[in-house]
Structure 1
Amino acid sequence: MIIPIILILQFIEIISSASNPRLLIISLDGFRHQYLKKYPFETLNRVEDEGIKSKNGMQPTFVTMTYPNHISIATGMYQEDHGIIHNRFFDTNLQKIVSFDTRDQGQWSDAKVEPLWITATKQGKRSAVLFWPAAHNEFHGTRPLIYSWAYSDNISMREKIDNAISYLRENVVELVMLYHFEPDKQGHIYGPDANETHEALIRLDRDINYLLEKVKKELNDDLNIIILSDHGMSNTVRTVQPFREGYVNRSSVGENILDGTLFSVTPRPGQFEQVLNGLRLIPGVKAYKREEFPERFHYAKAVNRLGEIIVVPDSEGVYFSQATENVSVAKGNHGYDNILPSMQAIFMAKGPDFNRHIEIDSLKNVDIYHIACKILNLKPNPYAKAGSIDNLTNIFHLRANHCSQIFLNMSVVVLAWFLYFTMDI
């Protein structure tokens, strides 16, 4: 009777694993979707073919920058709702600058804002958040079980993978969210089409293969994996310096200015029309009153963090600088209109709770929160209204049916062995 008992124990282990799904979300900063079409990737192409593939990539939120989009991915909210509208900005309510490095200084005072790892923690799921923006912040008295207290570019992708898999292997956590700074770094320095950027992409492809081998060996392939990015990358073609070029007098606006791939200022009292009209003289851009900024961007309601005027270029590749002296600008940039092909991010997924060989047209990064909640059997934050899974139901594998089939198959085996030994006796 020893063999049937062993089979029963194995069956219990399988059912236990199936009822406790695990998820790893990996973000590769600045991995433009068009890279997947431009270059062959041995591992990433295999992940797409075996699991879920997005034909046209994943649409980021506006502005297409790193900090705002990682919070949109984590919360399922637009930037005007979660409040992170730039990589660095001044909050007039807090009277403080908020950036990647800002500790717990009130920037998350809105109780409606809840990242995935907080949703999971509240519902009894343990999380590890590795270098993801805001991982080091407390949300309304709650933190994940494991998180990176300080960010560093000195940690290799493989070291991050080793840490993630060790937490999952030892059943320490059910959710891991892992951020890596490449290929964004190379895209900025050398441009999206440079050999150095391509080399970084190939290295990352090998790193993902390293991950998959560890998942197969150490987790028996029992892990749901989502690989995504926050935005794309574009060549910088033009620098605009509104103060240096005389479109606006620097003394006409307040100290809190947003620049980069958009430009936002608050004119001093009595200077509004003069500043607005001056900015509208810049060729190839559009200057809006904040309240008239296009609704499709879901951006302008964060009034305590934006200027009263918002300027955006008509086409990608323009970079705004508030500097009054000549500046040198990175060869690659992002932050442009979130419908542009060059700004689209990557998305692919595989694992026991995802269907196989499925191609979708596209999705939005605010859908990721809801996909993760579905995988982990979590009740989503009711304020995460920007995304949904209504049009993504075909990507999921019905684990209940899978478990039923396992139960049926194992029951047949156990029964066969039981009858064999009974008849033998």
Structure 2
Amino acid sequence: MTQRYVLLTIVIHWILFMYHIEIISSTDNSRLLIISLDGFRHDYLKKHVLRTLNQIQNEGIKTKHGMEPTFVTMTMPNHVSIATGMYQEDHGIIHNRFNDTKLKKFITFNTKDIGQWPDHKVEPLWITAAKQYKKSAVLYWPTSHNEFNGIRPSYYTSKYSDSVPLREKIDDAITFFSEFSFQLVMLYHFEPDKQGHDYGPNSNEIREILLRLDNELAHLLKRVKKELNDDLNIIILSDHGMEETKQLIQPFLDGYIDKSAVEDNILDGALFSVTPHLGYFKQVFDNLTRIPNVTVYKRDEFPERYHYAKAIHRIGEIIVMPNNVNTFFSQKTVIANVSKGNHGYDNKLPSMQAIFMARGPDFQQHIEIDSLKNVDVYHIGCKILNLKPNPYATAGSINNLTHIFRKRTNKCSQLFIDMSVVLFVLFLDFAF
């Protein structure tokens, strides 16, 4: 074996070894924090001066028209869509509270492990991470306290609470990254949704809470820079927008239908859904069409673009939609109080669009995209964390988002380049 051959072999093995090390270091060390701010309407970013949020989106990825939620534009369904990359009719969470006629169970935010996940295809990002040996913490995110296919994340909050301030959640997240080497943290915060409901989307109270949240995110950036050397991918998003409420319709109280004519699995809010008792379908359907400015659908004729009506054990046989926003339905048989702001409406409406922004070592800088869908977020998370996505998460993708990512640069990359060049030059000098 000649010295030339030996040197060539060393050079090739060095390059292959360093390339392998560089690939590992540029993917497996990535960390991701996802923060959801409930009810943060996209155009709040234009209406209010929010310095930290503007900094985050200007440094990284911003959206011109926000992020499209899934229908219905409500909190629990959309947080499950964000986490799973699935439409609501596929993951099964179709409302904040609903009755499953097959399970004979009522499901809400606090429901835990009663069989509401009979389909093994449903898999949140934190479960995908756990199956591929990544450590994740899920803080107050809807359904995070549930077991999926016998698996849970490394850490999760077992009971939801609105009493925990955002700063405390942020501090907990940083601790998971800095002290326990977690790769993924997903946290949910209930504001500014609460203020949007109580005071309306155009209120001074909305402005005040947005400024306060913006200040807490400034605290986040300081801690990330100081304790993590800015080596953290951050996504800030929301689940839906908010609209002013101007009209309340109570189909039972207003005399359109009788409650004795329908079963107990009733949905209300931005839509109204019922299942008539046997023999009452036509009567109930025809009477609901008497409500002004609404469209009444048979469930199997509900528009496919909503990706909503396949969950037949959880949605009524008749679905009523308002023709205009600002309308809210209540199933109460006494006069109901209605919030000044609400959501749940058509997911294409500008007022229902959510926020999305991202920054960090695996995201490009100074990129503006037109919009994205919240079912894409699952795939963005898989890309950042080098995870193989759930094959059933087909509602979203990153096919149109590849330009928002960049390859992580690090010391291994530079060492690989420098040493490879040196060795190759030495080889050429020796060979010739």
CA distance in 2, matches of 1:409, 1:152: 50
Matches within 5 A, 1:236-255: 236-255=245-264
Which of the numbers 203, 209, 226 marks the counterpart of 2:212? 203
Is 1:154 paired with 2:144? no
Helix, strand or coil: the match of 2:134?
A: coil
Whichever residue aligns with residue 42 of structure 1, its letter is: R
Is 1:407 paired with 2:410? no
- Is the 1:18–1:403 Cα contact (8 Å) retained in structure 2? no
Structure 1 residue 300: Cα displacement: 0.1
Structure 1 residue 327: Cα displacement: 1.1
Matches within 5 A, 1:216-227: 216-227=225-236
Q: In the superposition, relative to structure 1, how do residues 111 and 193 fare at CA in structure 2: closer, same or farther (>3 Å)?
A: same
Match of 2:149 in 1: 140
Match of 1:379 in 2: 388
Instruction: Deviation per CA, 1:347-379: give whole Å up to 9, x if none.
Output: 000000000000000000000000000000000
Which of the numbers 251, 261, 265 marks the counterpart of 2:270? 261
Instruction: Deviation per CA, 1:144-198: give whole Å up to 9, x if none.
Output: 0000000111111000000000010024310000000000000000101111111
Aligned-pair Cα RMSD in Å: 1.9
Matches within 5 A, 1:308-347: 308-347=317-356
Match of 1:304 in 2: 313
Identical-residue share of aligned pairs (%): 66
Structure 1 residue 14: Cα displacement: 12
Whichever residue aligns with residue 384 of structure 1, its letter is: A
Is 1:73 paired with 2:82? yes
- Is the 2:269–2:328 Cα contact (8 Å) retained in structure 1? yes
- Specify every segment of 5 or more residues in structure 2 that has no aligned partner in the other structure, as ranges: 1-20, 424-432
CA distance in 2, matches of 1:397, 1:171: 26
Structure 1 residue 43: Cα displacement: 0.5
Instruction: Deviation per CA, 1:248-285: give whole Å up to 9, x if none.
Output: 11211111211111100000111101101111111111
TM-score normalised according to structure 2 size = 0.90
- Is the 1:63–1:335 Cα contact (8 Å) retained in structure 2? yes
Structure 1 residue 407: Cα displacement: 2.6
Whichever residue aligns with residue 90 of structure 2, its letter is: D
Whichever residue aligns with residue 124 of structure 1, its letter is: Y
Matches within 5 A, 1:151-190: 151-190=160-199
Of the structure 1 ranges 73-82 and 40-49, higher mean CA displacement relative to structure 2 is found in 40-49
Match of 1:421 in 2: none
Matches within 5 A, 1:14-163: 16=25, 19-163=28-172
- Is the 2:28–2:385 Cα contact (8 Å) retained in structure 1? no
Match of 2:6 in 1: none
TM-score normalised according to structure 1 size = 0.92
Match of 1:283 in 2: 292
The count of corresponding residues between Structure 1 and Structure 2 is 403
Structure 1 residue 218: Cα displacement: 0.3
Of the structure 1 ranges 78-87 and 247-256, higher mean CA displacement relative to structure 2 is found in 247-256
Instruction: Deviation per CA, 1:14-56: give whole Å up to 9, x if none.
Output: 9858641000000000000010111111000011110000100
Helix, strand or coil: the match of 1:170?
A: helix
Instruction: Deviation per CA, 1:173-230: give whole Å up to 9, x if none.
Output: 1000000000000000010111111100110001111000000000000000000000
- Is the 2:22–2:412 Cα contact (8 Å) retained in structure 1? no
Structure 1 residue 315: Cα displacement: 1.5
CA distance in 1, matches of 2:273, 2:108: 17
CA distance in 2, matches of 1:214, 1:353: 19
Helix, strand or coil: the match of 1:214?
A: helix
- Is the 2:27–2:384 Cα contact (8 Å) retained in structure 1? no
Whichever residue aligns with residue 191 of structure 2, its letter is: E
Structure 1 residue 411: Cα displacement: 5.3
Structure 1 residue 406: Cα displacement: 3.0
- Specify every segment of 5 or more residues in structure 1 that has no aligned partner in the other structure, as ranges: 1-11, 416-425
Which of the numbers 393, 399, 406 marks the counterpart of 1:397? 406
CA distance in 2, matches of 1:351, 1:131: 23
Structure 1 residue 246: Cα displacement: 1.1
- Is the 2:256–2:288 Cα contact (8 Å) retained in structure 1? yes
CA distance in 1, matches of 2:300, 2:411: 52
Whichever residue aligns with residue 30 of structure 1, its letter is: G
- Is the 1:235–1:333 Cα contact (8 Å) retained in structure 2? yes
